[in-house]
Chain A
């Protein structure tokens, strides 16, 4: 039987506010334990939550960027469960009327566009951390993270492969960073994915029983966990078994998922509206104000790059993978608008390759867009060859001669020979010295042509303009 995999994702993205969602404690990462846990985060008697305006603004930004409905009023609910790193005995979350309702995200997989619908995105507080080792049979609790604002972004079950799930997660990851609501740091847990996976016979409508895989903190684990889980479910069904609805954990070391809890012992969270928080009103004028502060969205820029610069959809997507990359491209292409493809190639090729190699972000790139533009101008006006440009690029990267392109070209003698007379002379010399090959070519041996080109390039240490040499040689041989 042919099986179809059905995937929905829940992403917890930590909002980049300075203070917590319901208290004035700092959210900075890495502070000594419990130094950023105030009486509200500790749930001491008599304290009350006060909602952070910055958290609401960030949720609204996400909503606007995915074309969702912003609910007003929006309400907060208590999600009840017992765990020592949740001191109140409930998490303040949203159940009915989340801030963001609906919307969608465009993804690309192997050049094919697909629309993934969002169910909702709601605000909630994070829990603390439990440390189970080294405390002589006790658990150590650090509540620094308790109360950190999260936006849980829930998709519809619209993905049909792990590749689509990864593309969605990456697009969403790029989007939250683009609009500046989350730093996207996956190692620090700022962007965590849970995947709901089920399988069904191809061409059927009814969804299979799903399992939820928790806390996937890298795109690679997301992909592997989904692949493993889908295989596991298909094997059970093909052996005549049934899938049990449950929560599973992915073990990266063993590359497998295993049961965390089954539905029978799952918590009944007993959601109810939190009486400590009043309904949240988000008036239209506030939404309009927030809209003013938002950057041009990646999808809009992508479309503009295709229409204005005639770039392919693939190039346009790569350049808009982050706002910094897109800004770098625009700053470069402004200097030579007719050479957008050349700019794109160099940014996605040399620049991004070198950045990867050194593990730095484009914001820290040692070559400025203006400096790169000068280099690219020297290629497009024929001063240097593409090959020589790579040598210049390396020198610029290591800071030689103040990254002055023309100075480096002069110092290294990389200027291309583009003078027609000089090239004609060169071609004549080589033809005279290689009479046999000339004869071979005239007798139909095409290969002899390349050999002659090689001789000319060798004689000039590769500095002759290849296009001109080519044309001149053809002309001479036809005489």
Chain B
């Protein structure tokens, strides 16, 4: 798979990262290098290997369904830039 500068810009856009033309070209070279690496790895026959979904072979521990957290709103909101009526205020976003 060959990546283009436009692909890089699209990915940056999705990730909300602002990059200029020079950075986009630079990133294209780096990402293409990673793609080449993946291509090399894909040449290895893994048909007999079971897929791994986590680096450690342990399983998820579960919590009992109990409420253990108390209201810490005041503490949490003490570091928020802006709050009002118990709400965190952020620049307006309407989808």
Closest 8 pairs between A and B when the two form their complex, measured CB to CB: A54-B65, A24-B68, A140-B87, A33-B86, A38-B69, A53-B62, A278-B60, A141-B88
Q: How many Å lie between the Cα of A75 and that of B54 in the bound state?
A: 9
Q: Are B72 and A38 in contact (CB under 8 A)?
A: yes
Determine whether B41 belongs to the interface, using a CB cutoff of 8 Å to chain A.
no
Nearest CB of chain A from residue B79's CB, rounded to whole Å: 9
Determine whether B20 belongs to the interface, using a CB cutoff of 8 Å to chain A.
no
Give chain A residues whose Cβ lies under 8 Å from the Cβ of B61. 50-51, 278
Nearest CB of chain B from residue A443's CB, rounded to whole Å: 81
Give chain A residues whose Cβ lies under 8 Å from the Cβ of B69. 19, 23-26, 36, 38, 40
Q: Are B89 and A135 in contact (CB under 8 A)?
A: yes
Q: Are A19 and B85 in contact (CB under 8 A)?
A: no
Q: Are A138 and B76 in contact (CB under 8 A)?
A: no
Q: How many Å lie between the Cα of A130 and that of B58 in the bound state?
A: 38
Q: Are B92 and A56 in contact (CB under 8 A)?
A: no
Determine whether B14 belongs to the interface, using a CB cutoff of 8 Å to chain A.
yes
Give chain B residues whose Cβ lies under 8 Å from the Cβ of A52. 62-63, 65
Nearest CB of chain B from residue A188's CB, rounded to whole Å: 19
Q: Are A279 and B59 in contact (CB under 8 A)?
A: yes
Determine whether B4 belongs to the interface, using a CB cutoff of 8 Å to chain A.
no
Q: How many Å lie between the Cα of A130 and that of B63 in the bound state?
A: 29
Q: Are A135 and B84 in contact (CB under 8 A)?
A: yes
Nearest CB of chain B from residue A357's CB, rounded to whole Å: 38
Q: How many Å lie between the Cα of A54 and that of B63 in the bound state?
A: 8
Give chain A residues whose Cβ lies under 8 Å from the Cβ of B65. 17-19, 52-55
| Residues of chain B having any CB pair with chain A under 8 Å | 14, 16, 53-56, 58-69, 71-73, 76-77, 82, 84-95
Q: Are B95 and A83 in contact (CB under 8 A)?
A: yes
Q: Contacts A19-B68, A26-B69, A138-B82 known; A83 to B93 CB distance under 8 Å? A: yes
- Contact for B90 among A50, A97, A138, A280, CB less than 8 A: A138
Over the window 203-239 of chain A, the binary record of Cβ atoms lying under 8 Å from chain B Cβ atoms (1 yes, 0 no) is: 0000000000000000000000000000000000000
Which residues in window 269-315 of A have CB below 8 A to B? Answer: 270, 273, 275, 277-281
A132-B92, A140-B88 known; 16 other A-B pairs, CB under 8 Å?
Answer: A19-B65, A33-B85, A34-B88, A38-B72, A39-B76, A40-B69, A44-B76, A139-B93, A140-B84, A140-B85, A141-B88, A141-B90, A275-B54, A278-B54, A278-B60, A279-B53
Give chain B residues whose Cβ lies under 8 Å from the Cβ of A44. 76
Nearest CB of chain A from residue B51's CB, rounded to whole Å: 9
Q: Are A34 and B77 in contact (CB under 8 A)?
A: yes
* Nearest B-chain residue to A249, judged by Cβ: B95
Determine whether A3 belongs to the interface, using a CB cutoff of 8 Å to chain B.
no
Question: Size range of the interface on A?
Answer: 35 or more
- Contact for B16 among A55, A82, A142, CB less than 8 A: A82
Q: Are B62 and A39 in contact (CB under 8 A)?
A: no
Q: Are A34 and B91 in contact (CB under 8 A)?
A: no
Q: Are A270 and B14 in contact (CB under 8 A)?
A: yes
Q: Are B91 and A138 in contact (CB under 8 A)?
A: yes
Q: How many Å lie between the Cα of A75 and that of B51 in the bound state?
A: 12
Determine whether A32 belongs to the interface, using a CB cutoff of 8 Å to chain B.
yes
Nearest CB of chain A from residue B23's CB, rounded to whole Å: 20
Give chain A residues whose Cβ lies under 8 Å from the Cβ of B54. 75, 273, 275, 278-279
Determine whether A37 belongs to the interface, using a CB cutoff of 8 Å to chain B.
yes
